[in-house]
């Protein structure tokens, strides 16, 4: 099948054969990953839209893709001529396609999906919504697999151990901590790939930009059972796992292993992360619902992880200094460069750093109007040519053995006017306001989000994405449980910030067809004030971990107050102090100019 329309026709044919009136194709894999291996890129393969978030729905007459504002411009372009119509989500992560299905289908119609990709919680929610409209749900068919003739196999990259000097805590101790949280259960089922990697102190290359290993884990009171293709585990790692009472099983054998458990066995699980097909392997009474015991442990960095993170940030800062100096030199020489070229060159500078593993996500290099596409991805031979004019937004990150980085900077490549300076400065004010915040322990991301938006709001401006996400330790660049978001229904937004959590701070502003502005630092949550007799709750705050100057050329200084200027000057002084010893003299001079006090 060469075209999207051909694929759509083939899907409708197998839908008719299966008695399914509408079919839903989500973005996730069985592990509920944000970034997924090619084997599970069904929505991308079917529709041609390759944004990381979106849901496709197909009926015999209509087909649509639901995605949020980060991808509106991208999706409109990629879905042209595909047979799919873009459906703009009003609020991210809402199931507006369910309402659409109720309007499209007659009572008694059947909606299908692949149950392997849906959690217990998600599927139950879907069933309630459909039954309320008189519709039926069939989750037994993977119809995409029936028509995807050249479907990529599951990846087979080798796993490796993350040594204790990087992890800071042994696998045995982590497993013990989880076992202490087992609630009336003999096992806890772990399906999230980042949780498995953190818990076992292993990393891999199964998913681009995410150093994880496709697998499942059952943590028992005495033994842990790791379900992973055996060829991916080298002998030395296998022996180390065995010494820590971790037994290996084939990846595909988990369902059978669960089904074979005696009737007395109880398995702890989290409904929001466990596939419905796994859950159906045992009677409901053998499952014990419990909150995810791993995510809160993983999110709070230990002292070693915090020290290693600082090393990763220094290396990343050095790479960025060398990249931006190179870019300035190329523009002065009149070298022809594309957005794609910049992403490739930035990767090369990061590769020069020791213990570099790879990018933490595909770089977002958005020149002029492309910067307004929040998750824009430049393609070879198709991206914009860079000129010494206009605004350039680069959002990128690296995976180092010491940690994961994610940074966005917006710079001017030529003359600009107040229409850029004002929103840029308002975005900076929002970033500073969040970074300077002091708040009582127990405060959540929803409560803090307003701080980053308030300067923009006062000018009648806003941005359509969350303000911050958790970041893993040499793991996924987007990790929970915390986040900074305006969505009051988001679990990440409702999670209290705790000392040791690393969260991005990235307000922005986007003018379609003209430019995009975003300023992003990663912030470590730390204790600011001790509890007192008057107030028994400690107060927390953020410390920027990212080490690279924020462009001051674009700032309207009249819009900054004295405290904001002081914060920026102190930040730049720290950037220079921590990076300059690692740079050559000419690089130091360039950095000194970029960090000059305002």
- The pLDDT tens digits of the residues spanning 316-365 come to 999 999 999 999 999 999 999 999 999 999 999 999 999 999 999 999 99
Q: What is the DSSP letter of 154?
A: P
Where are the alpha helices (H) located in 378-488, listed in sequence order?
418-435, 445-457
What pLDDT score was predicted for residue 535? 75
Q: Is residue 154 part of a domain?
A: no
What pLDDT score was predicted for residue 485? 96
Strands of the sheet with 407-412, listed across from one edge: 364-367, 391-396, 407-412
CA distance 258 to 419: 60
Q: Is residue 560 part of a domain?
A: yes
Q: Are residues 515 and 404 in the same domain?
A: yes
CATH of residue 184: 3.40.350.10
Q: Are residues 445 and 470 in the same domain?
A: yes
Instruction: Please give the angle made by the CA atoms of 532, 535 and 537, to the nearest 5 degrees.
Output: 95
CA distance 394 to 232: 35
Q: Are residues 519 and 416 in the same domain?
A: yes
Q: Are residues 348 and 466 in the same domain?
A: yes
Q: Is residue 152 part of a domain?
A: no
CA distance 244 to 251: 20
Q: Are residues 313 and 412 in the same domain?
A: yes
Beta strand residue intervals within 415-537, DSSP E: 438-440, 468-470, 479-484, 502-505, 508-511, 515-518, 521-529
Token pair for 326? 């190179």
Q: Are residues 424 and 348 in the same domain?
A: yes
Where are the alpha helices (H) located in 48-110, listed in sequence order?
72-78, 96-104
The last residue of a domain, from among 248, 273, 298: 298
What pLDDT score was predicted for residue 424? 98
Percentages of the chain per state (helix, strand, coil), in multiples of 5? 40, 20, 40
Token pair for 8? 């759509």
CA distance 569 to 586: 22
CA 260, 262, 263, 265: dihedral to nearest 10 degrees?
Answer: -100
CA distance 569 to 596: 8
What pLDDT score was predicted for residue 93? 62
What pLDDT score was predicted for residue 53? 87
Q: How many domains does the chain have?
A: 3
Q: Is residue 188 part of a domain?
A: yes
What pLDDT score was predicted for residue 376? 87
Q: End-to-end CA distance of the chain, in Å?
A: 59
R_g (Cα) of the chain, nearest Å:
25
DSSP string, 220-265: ESS-EEEE--GGGS-HHHHHHHHHTTEEEE-GGGHHHHHHTS-TT-
Q: Is residue 153 part of a domain?
A: no
508 has which bridge partners? Answer: 518
CA distance 422 to 174: 48
CA distance 82 to 75: 11
What pLDDT score was predicted for residue 2? 79
Instruction: Please give the angle made by the CA atoms of 439, 443 and 449, to the nearest 5 degrees.
Output: 85
Q: Are residues 257 and 173 in the same domain?
A: yes
Q: Are residues 293 and 317 in the same domain?
A: no
Token pair for 68? 């949020």
Under 8 Å between Cβ of 34 and 471: no
DSSP string, 309-333: HHHHHHHHHHHHHHHHHHHHHHHHH
Q: Are residues 450 and 314 in the same domain?
A: yes
CA distance 436 to 564: 9
CA distance 502 to 360: 15
Q: Are residues 274 and 341 in the same domain?
A: no
The residue written with tokens 């004019």 in the block is 389
What pLDDT score was predicted for residue 384? 96
Under 8 Å between Cβ of 357 and 347: no
Closest of 219, 113, 205, 227 to residue 159, by C-alpha: 205
Q: Are residues 142 and 180 in the same domain?
A: no
What pLDDT score was predicted for residue 441? 94
What pLDDT score was predicted for residue 329? 97
What is the residue range of 567's domain?
A: 300-594
The last residue of a domain, from among 277, 298, 319: 298
CA distance 469 to 492: 8
CATH of residue 573: 3.90.230.10
Q: Are residues 443 and 522 in the same domain?
A: yes
Q: How many helices (H) and strands (E) does the chain have?
A: 19, 30
Strands of the sheet with 55-59, listed across from one edge: 85-88, 63-67, 55-59, 22-25, 110-112, 136-138
Reported as type and span, the H/E element at residue 120 is helix 120-132
Token pair for 288? 């014990």
Q: Is residue 582 part of a domain?
A: yes
The last residue of a domain, from among 283, 298, 313: 298
Q: What is the DSSP letter of 426?
A: H
pLDDT block averages, 10 residues each, the chain of length 598: 89 97 96 94 95 92 90 88 90 78 93 96 93 93 95 95 98 97 93 98 97 98 95 96 97 96 96 95 95 95 98 98 98 96 98 98 96 89 95 98 98 96 98 97 97 98 96 96 93 95 98 96 94 81 98 98 98 98 98 98
């Amino acid at each position: 099948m060469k075209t999207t329309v051909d694929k759509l026709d083939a899907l409708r044919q197998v839908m008719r054969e299966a008695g399914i009136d509408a079919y839903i194709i989500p973005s996730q894999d069985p592990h509920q990953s944000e970034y997924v291996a090619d084997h599970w890129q069904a929505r991308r393969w079917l529709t041609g839209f390759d944004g990381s978030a979106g849901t496709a729905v197909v009926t015999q007459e209509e087909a649509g893709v639901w995605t949020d504002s980060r991808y509106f411009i991208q999706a409109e372009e990629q879905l042209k001529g595909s047979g799919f119509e873009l459906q703009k989500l009003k609020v991210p992560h809402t199931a507006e396609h369910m309402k659409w299905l109720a309007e499209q289908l007659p009572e008694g119609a059947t909606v299908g999906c692949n149950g392997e990709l849906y959690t217990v919680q998600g599927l139950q929610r879907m069933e309630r919504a459909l039954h309320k409209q008189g519709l039926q749900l069939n989750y037994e068919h993977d119809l995409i697999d029936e028509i995807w003739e050249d479907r990529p196999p599951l990846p087979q990259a080798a796993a490796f151990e993350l040594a204790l000097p990087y992890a800071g805590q042994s696998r045995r101790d982590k497993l013990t901590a989880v076992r202490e949280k087992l609630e009336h259960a003999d096992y806890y089922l772990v399906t999230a790939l980042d949780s498995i990697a953190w818990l076992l102190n292993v990393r891999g290359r199964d998913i681009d930009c995410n150093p994880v290993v496709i697998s499942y884990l059952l943590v028992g009171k005495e033994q842990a059972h790791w379900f992973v293709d055996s060829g991916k585990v080298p002998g030395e790692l296998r022996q180390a796992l065995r010494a820590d009472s971790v037994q290996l099983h084939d990846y595909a054998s988990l369902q059978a292993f669960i089904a074979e458990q005696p009737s007395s066995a109880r398995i702890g699980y989290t409904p929001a992360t466990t596939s419905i097909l796994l859950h159906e392997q045992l009677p409901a009474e053998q499952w014990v619902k419990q909150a995810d015991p791993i995510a809160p442990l993983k999110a709070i960095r230990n002292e070693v992880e915090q020290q290693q993170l600082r090393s990763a940030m220094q290396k990343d800062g050095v790479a960025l200094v060398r990249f931006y100096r190179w870019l300035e030199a190329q523009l002065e020489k009149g070298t022809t460069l594309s957005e794609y070229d910049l992403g490739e060159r930035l990767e090369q500078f990061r590769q020069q750093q020791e213990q570099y593993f790879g990018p933490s996500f595909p770089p977002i290099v958005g020149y002029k109007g492309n910067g307004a596409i929040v998750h824009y991805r430049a393609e070879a031979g198709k991206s914009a040519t860079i000129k010494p004019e206009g605004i350039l937004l680069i959002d990128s990150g690296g995976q180092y053995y010491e940690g994961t980085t994610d940074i966005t900077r917006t710079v001017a490549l030529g003359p600009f006017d107040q229409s850029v300076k004002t929103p840029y400065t308002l975005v900076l004010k929002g970033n500073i306001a969040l970074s300077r915040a002091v708040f009582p322990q127990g405060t959540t991301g929803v409560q803090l989000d307003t701080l980053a938006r308030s300067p923009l709001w006062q000018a009648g401006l806003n941005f359509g994405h969350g303000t911050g996400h958790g970041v893993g330790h040499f793991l996924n660049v987007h990790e929970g449980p915390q986040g900074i978001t305006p969505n009051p229904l988001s679990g990440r937004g409702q999670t209290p910030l705790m000392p040791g959590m690393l969260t991005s701070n990235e307000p922005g502003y986007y003018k379609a067809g003209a430019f995009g502005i975003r300023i992003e630092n990663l912030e470590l949550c730390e204790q600011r004030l001790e509890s007192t007799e008057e107030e028994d709750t400690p107060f927390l705050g953020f410390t920027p971990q990212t080490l690279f100057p924020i462009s001051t050329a674009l700032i309207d200084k009249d819009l900054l107050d004295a405290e904001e200027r002081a914060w920026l000057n102190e930040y730049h002084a720290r950037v220079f102090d921590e990076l300059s010893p690692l740079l050559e003299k000419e690089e130091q001079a360039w950095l000194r100019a970029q960090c000059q006090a305002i």
